[in-house]
Structure 1
Amino acid sequence: MKFRIMYLEDKSKGLNGPARIGRVRLSKTGETLYYGGRTFEALRNSGLKANFSDAETGQPFWIAKARKGGDDRLYKGAGDPPVIDDDVREEYWRDVRGMPDPVGG
Structure 2
Amino acid sequence: MRSVDYVCASSSRKIDGTLDDKTAWFEFRQVAYLFGMNAQQATKFLRQADTTGDIDATKDVRSSDHGVCLLSHRAVVAVGYQVNYGRATAFRRWCASGLSVQFC
Q: Give the structure-1-normalised TM-score.
A: 0.26
- Which structure is larger by alpha-carbon Rg, 1 or 2? 1
Q: Give the structure-2-normalised TM-score.
A: 0.27
Greater relative contact order (Cα 8 A, min sep 6): structure 1 or 2?
1
